Structure 1
Amino acid sequence: MQMEIKCAIVDDEPFARKGLASYIEKISFLKLVVECEDVMALHEYLRQHPIDLLFLDIEMPEMSGLDYVATLKNPPKVIVVSAYEQYALLGYELEIVDYLLKPVSFERFFKAANRAGESLGFASLTIGGQHSVQEQHIFVKVDKKLKKIQYNDLLFIHSLGNYIVIQTTYSQEIIYSTLQQMITMLLQIYLYPVIDLILSISKKLR
């Protein structure tokens, strides 16, 4: 098994590329092999050099990042890094590894990189003070009070117009929220895997 994951960064903002590169440098199992300002530059690179993991912005000149990924027959693992949460559903449909909202903290970046590593056959890694996905939780407002819900207790979440139904092992909560707002909250705390659960249930109930 290879010891490093070959990574590429595609973002039209130099400052954003610099920040991601500095994060990659801190993670021993990641190796940055190329930085590109648009997907066309990446396309030329990929003609000669395969990569394992792509850190990808969405809104860029000529072609969006996700539109480009959709054209690839055998795309690398993709982690989207964007300032816009409205593309999260499209990212899910393209089976990306994770969706990071700018500005990205190192801890959040590390969790996404670790998940990519696991999908490529690397063992799970941790950093100080970090909790696994199973130990994560969310707070929702129920009857004007905040209620803590553990990830492990979630059975399903689905949308009913402007309301969200959260079914847990011990209760059912109905909160005032849209599906997109719920997904945005989950993205912020690394519960991207739960989006699969939300969408599968919501589609069945349409």
Structure 2
Amino acid sequence: MIRYIIIDDEFVAHDIIKGYCDLLPNMSLMKNCYDALEAFEYLNKNEVDLIFLDLNMPKLKGFDFLRTLPSPPNVIVTTAYSEFALEGYELNIADYLLKPFGFERFLKAINKAVSSTNKAQQSMSIANVESPVAKTIFLRSNKKYTQVGIDTILYIEAAGNYTKVITIHETITIREKISEMLELLPKEEFLQVHKSFAVAKSHIKNIEGNKIHIRDYIIPIGKMYKIKINELLK
């Protein structure tokens, strides 16, 4: 469950963000805050996983508020002002959404934030010798949004401006290029082996010649990618 708060002085912005979040599983709104001081008071007593933060607010501006937090959670900035984007990334925000934004762009921001959270939790688990953290990603196909466990993805295949995501359970075709999809997946777990294919290392059954076997699937290895395969086999 991703616990989030919205910090924005506009009621319409709250409605839009909550409406988008309601379309996704495991998103739980903890509080609507209409200025940064209200949010600061709430965060002093409660923990959240994600903040949707407007910048141009009364009393205390968004980034000034963010600098007051000793250990801020993931932050997605939602603003009408593009000129502060660089400053936002210097503060390690997950993403910077320019108003007005559509649901597809919003979904990309959520995926970035979820990926960042999962990596941080996984690092903590390794440090504390705990069990691995389940990782997920949201995929859009045919106007439906599906939450997929990253560890269930066998491989991905380019299909023009689309990408096929082949999982243990199903094949999902999304309107993203394979390069865009790879940016959302953990680099240490997925390996591009062809201009049109990337595979999950953990699901490789065997490698024979220029072919990779994953379950009943055979994935070709491109000539330009043989070096990566050789490094994997060392």
1:9 matches 2:6: yes
1:43 matches 2:40: yes
1:65-144 → structure 2 map (5 Å cutoff): 65-121=62-118, 122-128=135-141, 129-131=174-176, 134-135=179-180
* Aligned residue in 2 for 1:31: 28
Q: Secondary structure at the match of 2:140?
A: coil
Once the two structures are TM-superposed, the CA of residue 125 in structure 1 deviates from its matched residue by 2.4
Q: Point out which structure has higher relative CO (alpha carbons under 8 A, 6+ apart).
A: 1
More divergent stretch after superposition (90-99 vs 39-48) = 39-48
Which letter does structure 1 place at the counterpart of 2:100?
P
* Aligned residue in 1 for 2:60: 63
Q: Secondary structure at the match of 2:30?
A: strand
1:144-159 → structure 2 map (5 Å cutoff): none
How far does the alpha carbon of each residue in 1:141-165 deviate from its partner, in whole angstroms, 9 at most, with x for none? xxxxxxxxxxx9xxxxxxxxxxxxx
Richer in strand (by share): 2
Task: Measure the CA separation in 1 of the matches of 2:29 and 2:177.
Answer: 26
For the aligned residue pairs, the C-alpha RMSD in angstroms reads: 1.7
Q: Secondary structure at the match of 1:27?
A: coil
Task: Measure the CA separation in 2 of the matches of 1:115 and 1:94.
Answer: 15
Which letter does structure 2 place at the counterpart of 1:27?
L
Q: Secondary structure at the match of 2:6?
A: strand
Once the two structures are TM-superposed, the CA of residue 29 in structure 1 deviates from its matched residue by 2.6
Task: Measure the CA separation in 1 of the matches of 2:74 and 2:23.
Answer: 20
Q: Secondary structure at the match of 2:51?
A: strand
Q: Secondary structure at the match of 1:126?
A: strand
Q: Secondary structure at the match of 1:8?
A: strand
Q: Secondary structure at the match of 2:114?
A: helix
Once the two structures are TM-superposed, the CA of residue 133 in structure 1 deviates from its matched residue by 7.2
Which letter does structure 1 place at the counterpart of 2:179?
Q
How far does the alpha carbon of each residue in 1:165-199 deviate from its partner, in whole angstroms, 9 at most, with x for none? xxxxxxxxxxxxxxxxxxxxxxxxxxxxxxxxxxx
Which is higher, the Rg of structure 1 or of structure 2? 2
Q: Secondary structure at the match of 1:124?
A: strand
Task: Measure the CA separation in 1 of the matches of 2:28 and 2:177.
Answer: 24
Which letter does structure 2 place at the counterpart of 1:55?
F
Could you tell me which runs of 5 or more consecutive residues in structure 1 were left unpaired when the two chains were aligned.
137-151, 153-206
Task: Measure the CA separation in 2 of the matches of 1:5 and 1:74.
Answer: 17
Task: Measure the CA separation in 2 of the matches of 1:125 and 1:54.
Answer: 18
Which letter does structure 2 place at the counterpart of 1:100?
L
Using structure 1 for the length normalisation, give the TM-score.
0.62
Matched residue count: 134
Task: Measure the CA separation in 1 of the matches of 2:176 and 2:137.
Answer: 12
Task: Measure the CA separation in 2 of the matches of 1:13 and 1:135.
Answer: 32
Q: Secondary structure at the match of 1:49?
A: coil
